Amino acid sequence: MSDAVISAKPADKVETPFRRFVSEFAESKVALGALVVFIIIALLAIFAPWITPQNPYDLAELDIMDGRREPGTVGGAGFTYWLGTDDQGRDMLSGIIYGLRISLTVGAGSALIACLIGASLGLLAAYAGGRTDSVIMRLVDLQLSFPTILAALMILAFLGKGIMNVVIALVLVEWAYYARTVRGTALVERRREYIEAAQCLALPTHRVLFGHLLPNCLPPLIVVGTMQVARAIALEATLSFLGLGVPITEPSLGLLIANGYEYMLSGKYWISFYPGIALLITIVAINLVGDQLRDVLNPRLKK
Amino acid sequence: MTGKLRKLALAASTAIIGLSAQGAVAQSVTMAVAAPVTSLDPHYHQLSPNNAVADTIFDKLVNTDAKSNNLPGLALSWRAVEANVWEFKLRPNVRFHNGNPFTAEDVAFTLQRLPNVPNSPSSFAAYSRPIQAIEIVDPLTIRFRTAAPHPLMPLDMTNVRILDRETHQNATTEDFNAGRAAIGTGPYRVVSHRSGDRIEFERNDNYWGDRAAFQRVIYRMITNDAARTAALLAGDVEFIDQVPTSDLAKLRQDNRIALSETVGLRLIFLGLDHLRPANENSPFITDNDGKPLGRNPLQDVRVRRALSIAIDRKAIVDRVMEGAAVPAGQFLPEGVYTHVPGVTPPPFDPDGARRLLAEAGYPQGFRIQLNGPNDRYVNDARIIQAVGQMWTRIGVRTTVEAQPWTTFVGRAGRADFSAHLIGWGSNPDGSHPLRNILATQTREKGWGSSNRGRYSNPRLDALLDQSLVELDEAKRVQLVIEAQRIAAEDVAVIPLHIQTNIWGMRRHLAHDARNDELTRAQDVRPAAR
Amino acid sequence: MTVYLVRRVLQALLVVLAMSLIVFIGVYAIGDPVEILISPDADQIERERAVQALGLDLPLWQQYAVFLTKALQGDLGRSFVYNEPALKLILQRMPATLELAFGATIIALIIGLPLGLYAGLRPDGRVSRVIMAGSILGFSLPTFWVGLMLIMVFAVYLGWLPSTGRGDTGTLLGLQWSFLTWDGIRHMTMPAINLALFKISLVIRLTRAGVRETMLMDYVKFARAKGLSPARVTFVHVFKNILIPVVTVVGLELGSTIAFSVVTESVFAWPGMGKLIIDSINVLDRPVIVAYLMMIVLMFIAINLIVDLTYSMLDPRVRLESKGT
């Protein structure tokens, strides 16, 4: 999608739905700006090992004697800690860039997988009705009332620590939100004429589901989706705060914040503050893009 | 608007603090502790926060001072009248909060109750188990007969809070929690108890010992470290325990705040895998390519010593603990009677460590995973990362995994790890860590139940065996010291540091810091002007 | 309709049963409660005694059978930690959590509705953009961090509000409530705001989206064409229409707030159910965890049932009976 936007010059070419989508998206300068910011963040995350002065995940490169240095100090390794260091002597700038990686993986990964599972089950529940619906919705009830912390602890006990296991824990918690949202919308949509028409044409179920029903459920799904990416990142931070998140030697933004949290009262603000700012910018960018997407995709807002 | 709010806030906060701002006439104090008290029943759950509160309400035959030395409590004196018989002379004219007199009957009742508290997840039964028969000589003299000589009897009695037979005969744990049965001989009586939130105490004006300083005490539980410090800074509470090390620097500079601190009895150490024999793999050790090593390097004392001297303990104490600990080479700190003289914290010597590794046949080192809890000890997850850095520098590439105590402790108990961080809060007698951590696991003797590395050394076991029946105190202490020396020389575990216990309070208060970590209302008083 | 309800109740029982089973297996997998609860210097004999006292020496399926038998008689077991009935412990802590959750919801509606309405009516205005950007803050910052910031600013530096705890309570219906005393309300303010942040964002976003869609509806256009005052159009026609989805979602959110205000309650030392459940999970106090989650799952089922009933009343096309067949 990012390539598409960059390559989209004001078109005097033939108008395809896709081109229209692109030009409508570009109508909002804010959204466009947010997209650029997001792309930069994504690039930073992808190329982290080549940009950062330190590999913050390699214990051999850290030195506790350089712990909690103020922003701007020159460390033992000879480079400047522009954003200071944390308690282990981890360069905050390097830590944040690497942390972006983890946070984006965890946030986007869990939201995407949860969305796929949740939306499919929600659609199925609404479309099939009857027993299928009951089973799926009771599963949703069960899931919604199951505390994230307990789920995370159980996964930790079964699978051990690791970034993928945090993603699994978050998916386990999040899919229910998507399922509930999609089912609600789909219940209304499936009674509409176009679905009945599709059914009369005896189209296969999967085509009715994914070709006709799903697109019309997209707007609320995108709202929930972009919010859930943010929520997943914040939730991961909370899990890390409770000691159930990503491994301590591979901190995400959330874990960096949680680590620095204890130093807030003592004035060593940078350990928690800068990762917080990075997290904030990332999430704001994702949401501004998401908001614009939703507006563009929402058929009911068409004038 | 803001002015008005401010005034209201001021009025309210003075109401909370009471008259304490005027120091000398202070009538009440609000304290906040980190660990929740789970029960007011003194025999239900052996847990530090419960014991601290129990010490406020109840007394023991043998009390302890701030340095954990034995003091006459409800017993004035004690001695072994025969090899197998201990006699305690009881304090006369002591009354329970409800006016009932204290006699030898109550002591006998208490000891019988210990093993019989229903559903107790961690009972005090171990302290009455050596006693085979109880003999009441007169209302103020009681004798305990044991199967074998039991030199630790007075020490055992420092753990047993005495109840009133008449009051507590049918009292359930719920009665205690509701406050109805929380009646002892101690310096404070319970006014109300909101489980997990707060306990309110009122001074027992008829207390036999030193009168407590405050008429009323509000004892709150604030588990979140930052919130507890914030509550102290905001003046909502006047006294907190377990001051987070990250806040120490700031609090030391704050002229509204005073700190009281003392070196404690809790050693933080690394347990090593002694279970897998030398020719088998240890679960989290591989060669540098991640392949099985085919042997357990931790069985070689040179490797253990290398890992120990690779650690810069002073750096950990200064940088990670922010000074709130002392480097250690053994379980007990200097000044305690079973401290091993001459065993100092191993000096930091990375070159020596590399040499030892090479001598042991690992010139290129190996890979190891260091496990630890992340919610149990002060800065636990930070310490294992720091150790990981230091081991990696001598060629032992270390990965570090921290997990919540809930999932950690079970695995540690099954000896699942190659190396793990753990702590031990000792009583001042070296036999305590010896029995529980260093002695060979033996069910019949009750030894080694926390020996998570499965260390086993017949010489140490023999000395411990002797010490446990040695009634001559000087000889016994010598045996305990010798056994500990063996463990230190053999690097049975890698001691890191002994924690400093730190309390924080508003300037108008003073406190006697205890090395057993207990936060007791009677230890707080107005500061001298 | 009756058939439908009966079916739902039966399903609810199944779900509760499933929940208890999952928790039993889950807790068993996580660890051994005795290892966590027992004093570290307890010897092997004492450990075995404790395992027995808590009934953990039986095979897991037998433990579950014992639990079910007792549960059928209304006894959900005693807490390993407090030695009190699990249900009693939970009910004791419930008022504190309920009033916090309701307080947060009310704050969310009071702040979120007007802002969302404004942002929806003037979607391209400068103020609206600020509101929308600000609403993102509400769910992007971790709760524990915001909580501490609130304490630092309002309790430590400004001294306006008490930092933690519940304060004085008044008695109503035999229960202790904070909102009955001034001191209690002051103690409740910060945690309630902390808990409300996410909800404020949610309400703003839902309201704005709803307003934007509704404003383009034919009946609104018609009302405006008829010459009704903008205020009347906004508050009568638009507002009425968007309130339903907002209230639905907020209602659902209320459920999760009641169930899991864990972080807020820990940071503010608020003695509610959230704190009880996290403490219980930390020491694997299984009876409390099981009882609590069984109760929560019932609550969610009830809330979802109400939502389904509301849907069917609002939109006759969603017929309840259709799901029965």
What does the pLDDT look like over B92-101, one tens digit per residue? 999 999 999 9
Per-residue pLDDT, C259 = 75
Give the mean pLDDT of B64-74: 93
- Nearest one of B169, B153, B186 to B51, comparing CA atoms: B186
Q: Residue C14 and residue A145: Cβ atoms within 8 Å?
A: no
Q: How far is A111 from chain B (nearest CA, A)?
A: 25
Of A140, A261, A279, the CB nearest to C144: A261
What does the pLDDT look like over A20-63, one tens digit per residue? 778 878 877 888 888 999 999 999 999 988 988 888 888 888 88
Per-residue pLDDT, A9 = 47
Per-residue pLDDT, C281 = 87
Q: Which chain C residues contact residue A294 at CB under 8 A?
A: 209
Q: Which chain B residues contact residue A243 at CB under 8 A?
A: 374-375, 381, 402-404
Q: Which of residues 404-443 of B touch C (CB under 8 A)?
A: 404-407, 409-410, 413, 424-425, 432, 435-436, 443
Nearest chain B residue to A245 by CA: give it: B403
Q: Residue B195 and residue C82: Cβ atoms within 8 Å?
A: yes
Q: Of all residues in chain B, what percent carry a pLDDT higher than 70?
A: 95
What does the pLDDT look like over B295-348, one tens digit per residue? 999 999 999 999 999 999 999 999 999 999 999 999 999 999 999 999 999 999
Q: Which of A159-173, A257-271, B384-398, C66-80 has the highest mean pLDDT?
A: B384-398
Q: Residue A142 and residue C19: Cβ atoms within 8 Å?
A: yes
What are the residues whose beta carbons fall under 8 Å from the beta carbon of B118, sequence distance 6 or more?
A: B172, B173, C53, C83
Q: Residue A149 and residue C278: Cβ atoms within 8 Å?
A: yes
Model pTM?
Answer: 0.89
Whether A10 shows a pLDDT value over 50: the answer reads no
Q: How far is C181 from chain A (nearest CA, A)?
A: 30
Of A129, A144, A279, the CB nearest to C256: A144
Lowest mean pLDDT among A65-74, B22-31, B102-111, C28-37: B22-31
Q: Residue C50 and residue B41: Cβ atoms within 8 Å?
A: no
Q: Which chains have 3+ CB pairs within 8 A of A?
A: B, C
For the four alpha carbons of A201, A205, A209 and A210, in that order, the dihedral sign comes to negative
Whether A68 shows a pLDDT value over 80: the answer reads yes
Assign B268 a pLDDT band (cuts: 50, 70, 90): very high
Whether B9 shows a pLDDT value over 70: the answer reads no
Per-residue pLDDT, C318 = 52
Complex ipTM > 0.90? no
Nearest chain C residue to A129 by CA: give it: C323
Q: Which chain B residues contact residue A87 at CB under 8 A?
A: 319-320, 382
Helix ranges (DSSP H) in C31-152: 33-37, 44-53, 60-72, 86-121, 126-140, 143-150
Of B236, B375, B449, the CB nearest to C42: B449
Give the mean pLDDT of C158-178: 80
Q: Does B51 touch chain C (CB under 8 A)?
A: no
Per-residue pLDDT, B8 = 47
Q: Of all residues in chain C, what percent carry a pLDDT higher than 70?
A: 94
Q: Does B378 touch chain A (CB under 8 A)?
A: no
Q: Which chain B residues contact residue C275 at CB under 8 A?
A: 196
Give the mean pLDDT of B480-489: 96
Q: Judge residue C241's burial from the number of C-beta atoms within 10 Å of its C-beta, 0-12 exposed, 13-18 middle, 19 or more buried.
A: middle
Nearest chain A residue to C299 by CA: give it: A145
- Measured distance CA(A245)–CA(A254) in Å, rounded: 9
Per-residue pLDDT, C315 = 60
- Interface test mutation site (partner C, options B129, B158, B197, max chain C beta carbons within 10 A): B197
Q: Residue C15 and residue A300: Cβ atoms within 8 Å?
A: no
Q: Does B395 touch chain A (CB under 8 A)?
A: no
Per-residue pLDDT, C314 = 63
Per-residue pLDDT, A238 = 82
CB pairs under 8 A between A and B: 85
Assign A14 a pLDDT band (cuts: 50, 70, 90): low
Whether B518 shows a pLDDT value over 50: the answer reads yes
Whether C210 shows a pLDDT value over 50: the answer reads yes
Q: How far is A247 from chain C (nearest CA, A)?
A: 18
User: Nearest-5° angle of CA B45, CA B49, CA B50?
Assistant: 40
Average pLDDT, chain C: 83
What does the pLDDT look like over C92-124, one tens digit per residue? 888 889 899 999 999 999 999 889 888 888 877
Per-residue pLDDT, A3 = 42
Q: Residue B233 and residue C183: Cβ atoms within 8 Å?
A: no
CB pairs under 8 A between A and C: 144
More confident residue, B329 or A236: B329
Give B345's DSSP letter: P
Of C46, C156, C284, the CB nearest to B230: C156
Torsion angles phi and psi, residue C96, rounded to 5: -60, -45
- Interface test mutation site (partner B, options C46, C54, C158, C273, max chain B beta carbons within 10 A): C46
Whether C320 shows a pLDDT value over 90: the answer reads no
Nearest chain C residue to A133 by CA: give it: C323
What are the residues whose beta carbons fall under 8 Å from the beta carbon of B294, sequence distance 6 or more?
A: B279, B281
- Measured distance CA(B327)–CA(B498) in Å, rounded: 6
Structure tokens at A163: 């970034």
Nearest chain A residue to C300 by CA: give it: A141
Q: Residue A88 and residue B226: Cβ atoms within 8 Å?
A: no
Q: Which residues pair with C175 in a beta bridge?
A: C172
- Nearest one of B244, B251, B390, B252 to B312, comparing CA atoms: B390
Nearest chain A residue to B224 by CA: give it: A262
More confident residue, C249 or B16: C249
- Measured distance CA(A267)–CA(C314) in Å, rounded: 54
Q: Which chains have 3+ CB pairs within 8 A of B?
A: A, C
Q: Does B158 touch chain C (CB under 8 A)?
A: no
Q: Which chain B residues contact residue A266 at CB under 8 A?
A: 246-250
Whether B19 shows a pLDDT value over 60: the answer reads no
Write the single-letter amino acid at B255: N
Whether C321 shows a pLDDT value over 70: the answer reads no
Q: Which chain B residues contact residue C50 at CB under 8 A?
A: 120-123
Assign B15 a pLDDT band (cuts: 50, 70, 90): very low
Give the mean pLDDT of C47-64: 90
Q: Which residues pair with B442 in a beta bridge?
A: B447
Give the mean pLDDT of B66-70: 92
Nearest chain A residue to B225 by CA: give it: A262
Spell out a b/e string for B289-312, using b for 16 or more CB atoms within 10 Å of the CB, else e: eeeebebbbbbbebbbbbbbbbbb
Per-residue pLDDT, A8 = 43
Average pLDDT, chain A: 82
- Interface test mutation site (partner A, options C35, C145, C217, max chain A beta carbons within 10 A): C145
Q: Which of residues 361-400 of B touch C (CB under 8 A)?
A: 375
Q: Does B291 touch chain C (CB under 8 A)?
A: no
Of B5, B173, B227, the CB nearest to C269: B227
What does the pLDDT look like over B431-461, one tens digit per residue? 999 999 999 999 999 999 999 999 999 999 9
Q: Residue C23 and residue A150: Cβ atoms within 8 Å?
A: yes
Q: Which chain C residues contact residue B36 at CB under 8 A?
A: 279
**B477, B464 in Cβ contact below 8 A?**
no
Of A184, A284, A298, the CB nearest to C136: A284
